[in-house]
Amino acid sequence: MRITVWILGDQLLEDHVALDYAKGYGDHEHIRVLMIESRKQTSRLPHQRKKLVLLFSAMRHYAEKLRQNGIEVDYRSANTTTDALEAHLADFQPDLLVTMSASTYAGRRFQRNLQQRFQTRMILLPNTMFLVELFNPYPDPQAGKRYVMENFYREMRRHHRILLDDSDQPIGGIWNFDQDNRKPLPRSVVPPEPLTFPPDKLTQQVMQAVAALDNHVGTADGFALAVTHDDAELALQDFINHRLANFGTYEDAMSAQHHVLFHSVLSPYVNIGLLTPMQMVEAALRAYEAGSAPINAVEGFIRQIIGWREYIYWQYWRQMPALQDANGWHGTRTMPRMFWDADTPMNCVHHVVKRLIDTGYTHHIERLMVICNFCLLADVDPGEVADWFLTFYVDAYEWVVYPNVIGMGMNADGGQTATKPYIASANYIHKMSDYCGDCPFDPKQRIGERACPFNYLYWNFIIEHEAMLRSNPRLGKNVLGLRHLDAHERERVQEQAQDFLNGLELYESVRQKRRLTLK
């Protein structure tokens, strides 16, 4: 029996379920692994060059490792995945094609259609990259019902018996230590730099090839991410040893000096299978048991993984395909040009975007409270924001971008992912960062020449959507703030917001371009 195991580029698991399945039929001699680099896949949208290097280099290292373990690999570069599959099936004529279900809606639909298209028998296995595929707290979600991440997270903790005492109560007495977290970074605290990985010969070849590709963003230069399981494990240990203990406390802090702070920067790895969610959780639990990290940090980190990450994936499957076009606040603008070139006097936006262009990474709060906050207040179309995220971030894939950006950041899905829009005036950024000190705008002024745009845009948004916001119990406080603005001030806020938005230079629509390439 000749078996082809097709391994997708974002499913580079050390223990791959499709490979295990094939091995069940006998020895290696009958198994051939197929891996595909598809040009169409990477040209639908511009991509962060460092993401392309990460993906292609990790895939090629993975193929190398399989070969060293005596498994034959057919590694193909082709115009499309279909071309590569057709050529592979013609060349090798396998009796069986085994693969793992894709993490994205379009990918899974493509896999299902293949079964009708080709004569070869195909086995589509469950996706083991996510815990929620194996245990789902809400297998039959009700239409229209709101599900809250916190409850989902507790179910996951109970099921996997994580941080529970002998009577099934949360260790430390509470489920969530957020009240101990979310502090700004004091000047005296200097976060350690994360471990970097100098590119080996294979990665250097990929860097050269990616540097020569047109129409992408960022640069391959300076690529220093892990591309193997062993190095990803070193990156995990580096985080556990040097940053986990302060993870919770400074989780929401932003800094112009330090871009990673105490975050893990592990999303690029776990999203392509170089790490697994449980591997990350178990490493944090070991640190807690060894007494090297406090409960607020360990619980906070674990909540990100078995709580937020899994909940986001669950929301993606629950809401697709409607989610990709959701536009609850009716945003119409394309992305402002400053998000493509970092050219803006708004110091927070400048720093975050500049860093993103250079590295492909910014941490969670910058994604939510600087980028999405601005885009929601400035009526940007959520689909445009999502495609911009897919373009610039090194860890971006549709399953994670759509619910985080369209659902949470832009609150465009009718409150399914997050029960309130994350909107804030400059006060929040001022409190949590050092950006405002060096900014020509004043975070305390609501109107006037030096007023921070976040302020008048925020109040303009509240005035425009007052009725809708009032109906959300979690936002009553924000709307109540309107009492402090008299009629004249309201008018001036709206005028200044309109002038600002009319003068905002916009970039071309990426979504429209993508639609054309999909036709």
Q: Which residue has the tokens 């245990």?
A: 135
CB-nearer residue toward ligand SF4: 390 or 439: 439
Neighbouring CB atoms inside 10 A of 287's CB total 21
Name the amino acid, one letter, at 409. Answer: G
- Of these partners, ligand SF4, ligand FAD, none, which one is at the site of residue 439 (CB under 5 to 8 Å by kind)? ligand SF4
**Binding marks (x or -) toward ligand FAD, 264..293, rule CB under 6 A?**
xxxx--xx----------------------
CB of 422 to ligand FAD, least distance (A): 8
From 96, 149, 348, 462, residue interacting with ligand SF4 (rule: CB under 6 A): 348
Residue in 73, 70, 96 with CA at minimum distance from that of residue 12: 73
Name the amino acid, one letter, at 359. Answer: T
Note whether 353 and 345 are within 8 A (CB).
no
Stretch in the footprint of ligand FAD (CB under 6 A) among 22-30, 333-341, 393-401, 483-491: 393-401
CB-nearer residue toward ligand SF4: 156 or 424: 424
What DSSP state is assigned to residue 224? -
Distance CA 432, CA 348 (A): 11
Residues in the chain: 519
Q: Does 355 bind ligand SF4 (CB under 6 A)?
A: no
Neighbouring CB atoms inside 10 A of 240's CB total 22
Q: Does 312 bind ligand FAD (CB under 6 A)?
A: yes
SS (H, E, C) 460-515: HHHHHCHHHHHCCHHHHHHHHHHHHCCHHHHHHHHHHHHHHHHHCCECCCHHHHHH
Interactions with ligand SF4, residue window 425-484 (CB under 6 A) = 426, 429-430, 435-436, 439, 441, 443, 452, 454
How far is C-alpha 12 from the chain's CA centre?
18
- Of these partners, ligand FAD, ligand SF4, none, which one is at the site of residue 6 (CB under 5 to 8 Å by kind)? none
- Of these partners, ligand SF4, ligand FAD, none, which one is at the site of residue 435 (CB under 5 to 8 Å by kind)? ligand SF4
CB of 365 to ligand SF4, least distance (A): 13
From 275, 287, 346, 479, residue interacting with ligand SF4 (rule: CB under 6 A): 346
CB-nearer residue toward ligand SF4: 34 or 439: 439
Q: Does 323 bind ligand SF4 (CB under 6 A)?
A: no
Distance CA 80, CA 84 (A): 7
Q: Which two tokens stand for residue 101?
A: 């279900």
Q: Both ends of the chain: CA-CA distance in Å?
A: 38
Distance CA 65, CA 86 (A): 25
* Footprint on this chain of ligand FAD (rule: CB under 6 A): 263-267, 270-271, 304-305, 308-309, 312, 363-364, 367-368, 372, 389, 393, 395-396, 400-401, 404-405, 408-409
* Footprint on this chain of ligand SF4 (rule: CB under 6 A): 346-348, 426, 429-430, 435-436, 439, 441, 443, 452, 454
